[in-house]
Amino acid sequence: MSASIQNLSGLDRVIHEPARLMLVTLLSAVESADFLYLLKESDLTKGNLSVHLSKLEEAGYIEAEKTFRGKMPHTEYRLTSKGKSAFDQYRKNLSSVLGVKSK
């Protein structure tokens, strides 16, 4: 019981931040997504979206594939397998709290 409580202190901060939790959740539902899609779905500002995507990339949880659509740059973001398992682990740790109804 107190073992599952201790899971909470070790929650992955990279994923735990609401903005990034949103992004990871969004990306876990699709193959890949571009900047504009994430911008609209997340309702973040461009700056914040950029920074949070960078943090997720630094952590190795997502990867960005930069290409050109005609002459326009186009970037697709997708969860890596590392990102997927980190998200799975995060959900496991949290479900110990959320799963148990106290009342």
Rounded Cα distance between 102 and 73, Å, is 51
Mark the segment that binds DNA (CB under 7 A) among 18-26, 85-93, 94-102. Answer: 18-26
Indicate whether 10 belongs to the interface with DNA (CB under 7 A). no
> In the bound complex, what is the minimum distance in angstroms from residue 70's beta carbon to a second copy?
28
**Which residue, chain included where needed, has tokens 């190795």?**
60
CA of 10: how far to CAs of 7, 15, 59, in Å? 5, 12, 16
Tell whether residue 103 is a contact of DNA (CB under 7 A).
Answer: no
Stretch that binds DNA, among 23-31, 67-75, 81-89, 90-98 (CB under 7 A): 67-75
Q: Torsion angle of alpha carbons 8, 28, 24, 47, nearest 10°?
A: -170
The answer to whether 8 and 97 have CB atoms below 8 angstroms apart is yes
Stretch 26-65: interaction string toward DNA, x if CB under 7 A: --------xxx-------xxxxxxxxxxxx--------x-
Give the interface with DNA as residue ranges (CB under 7 A).
13, 17-20, 34-36, 44-55, 64, 66, 69-75
